[in-house]
Amino acid sequence: MEIPNVKRQFPKVSELAPLLKFTGPTLHRKERRLASALTIWDLREIAKKRTPQGPFDYTDGSAESEVTLERARQAFLDLEFRPNILKDVSTLDTSCEVLGKKFALPVGIAPTGFTRMMHTEGERAGARAAAKFGIPFTLSTLGTTTVEDVVAAAPDGTNWFQLYMWKDRDRSMELVRRAEAAGVDHLLLTVDVPVAGARLRDVRNGLTIPPRLTGKTLADAIPKPEWWINFLTTPGISFASMSNWNGTVAELLDFMFDPSMTFEDLKWIRTQWKGKLTVKGIQTLDDAKSAARAGADAILLSNHGGRQLDRAPVPLHLLVDVKRELKGDTEIHLDTGIMHGADILAAIALGADFTYIGRAYLYGLMAGGQLGVERALEILKVQISRNMKLLGVNSLEELEPRHVRILQTHQGLGRLPQ
């Protein structure tokens, strides 16, 4: 007779007891909802369910075919990490020094316009979350909270200001003086906006700032009551840097932005601003060199999140050449397409001194206000820490180009893996 592989018996109560451990319910629905998000993509799905289509699409979309954003995200996926094994990674340092200041992580929150449209807590939530995680927050010229109120909301944080040069130069510099008076010591000058990009989702949605109550928006509000309750019971969405606007987003941008701006204007701004200056929107090697010669302390390789020129260069692909050619004290920063902590590490390994997130932060904001932003930052922090250990490095300074290989792929740009 063949002897069975296992011998069965009735379970004993004493053996079952250690196995019967139940997790108590989380009473706070928002905390439970956010805790279920394990990736930035998860936060995006939550945000989509809780935010009206117009504000969500404004955040989620990019220009024309939207291929620029897809390519930027795909570029991070088309990388292969080259880890070192048998390294002592029992201690870990994720901090970095940027423009003379030390931060806990190599990522900051990028400037985003109309932020209170995404969630009523808006820029205050972003600034407070950034301060909590020891990283900088950047307020946009098109922000919906004043620079004074942002600084007051996070007085112990690092608060930066982003400038669009308007056709009205005096008003532009008035904003700069206000930022300086509020304690801001770092100015990001965005230079890739001679006109607004063709953001077709916004056109199709008929998006205005603030959103209008129409039959379509009211129908869209039914499954998203919290957003509308917040919208209707909190101070109206207005611009921190200008009077209200009664047109579309594209009309506003075309009205404001100065298409005549040149490198001579950049040099002039450098003489007006005594703090640190980053030029945001660099997309070629030659322009990176010119911005450095004009006095930029840092250049930000960025195609505006794919929201301006369709089929624009991918910042990650530009990084290696800029790092090789750019000499001196000019730092190299990078944004666009970052959805994972590993994306940040890859950029640092290939030569970036710092990175920024825009959509990744806004998905968290839409998913749950400040707690959602904190969840987004916690996800990225965990991913950065885990992948540094898996790569066999103890600090960001140990990351080198040898840790990353750019794969030569010719795959389509369908839905990106999550």
In a domain, 13, yes or no: no
Mean pLDDT of 270-289: 96
For residue 256, the one-letter residue type is M
Asked if the model's pLDDT at residue 417 lies above 60, the reply is no
Mean pLDDT of 28-51: 94
- Per-residue confidence band for 228, with pLDDT thresholds at 50, 70 and 90: confident
pLDDT of residue 251: 73
The candidate with the shortest Cα–Cα distance to 53, out of 61, 42, 63, is: 61
Mean pLDDT of 3-13: 77
pLDDT top residue among 415 and 162: 162
- Per-residue confidence band for 190, with pLDDT thresholds at 50, 70 and 90: very high
pLDDT of residue 254: 74
Mean pLDDT of 73-82: 96
Asked if the model's pLDDT at residue 414 lies above 50, the reply is no
Mean pLDDT of 316-332: 92
- Give the global pTM: 0.90
Q: Among 28, 119, 186, 304, which one carries the catalytic annotation?
A: 304
Mean pLDDT of 73-81: 96
Can you list the alpha helix ranges (DSSP code H) found in 207-354? 215-221, 225-233, 249-256, 263-272, 285-293, 315-325, 341-349
In a domain, 37, yes or no: yes
pLDDT top residue among 236 and 418: 236
pLDDT of residue 416: 41
pLDDT of residue 387: 98
In a domain, 62, yes or no: yes
CA dihedral 123, 171, 333, 414 (to 10 degrees): 70
pLDDT of residue 306: 93
81, containing H or E segment: strand 79-81
**pLDDT digit string, tens, across residues 129-172:** 999 999 999 999 999 999 999 999 999 999 999 999 888 888 88
Question: Which residue range is the domain that position 336 belongs to?
Answer: 30-406
> CA 137, CA 188: separation in Å to the nearest integer?
12
Decide if 40 contacts 379 (C-beta within 8 A): yes
pLDDT top residue among 258 and 210: 258
In a domain, 9, yes or no: no
- Per-residue confidence band for 26, with pLDDT thresholds at 50, 70 and 90: low
Active site residue 304: yes
In a domain, 1, yes or no: no
pLDDT of residue 413: 42
Q: What totals of helices (H) and strands (E) does the chain contain, helices first?
A: 18, 12
pLDDT of residue 242: 62
For residue 109, the one-letter residue type is I
Asked if the model's pLDDT at residue 237 lies above 60, the reply is yes
State the CATH number of the domain containing residue 118. 3.20.20.70
Q: Which tokens belong to 301?
A: 């390789």
Asked if the model's pLDDT at residue 229 lies above 90, the reply is no
In a domain, 219, yes or no: yes
pLDDT top residue among 406 and 372: 372
pLDDT top residue among 413 and 194: 194
For residue 48, the one-letter residue type is K
Decide if 81 contacts 404 (C-beta within 8 A): yes
In a domain, 24, yes or no: no
In a domain, 5, yes or no: no
> CA 406, CA 217: separation in Å to the nearest integer?
44
Work out how many domains the chain is built from and give that number: 1
pLDDT of residue 168: 80
pLDDT of residue 362: 98
> CA 113, CA 242: separation in Å to the nearest integer?
13
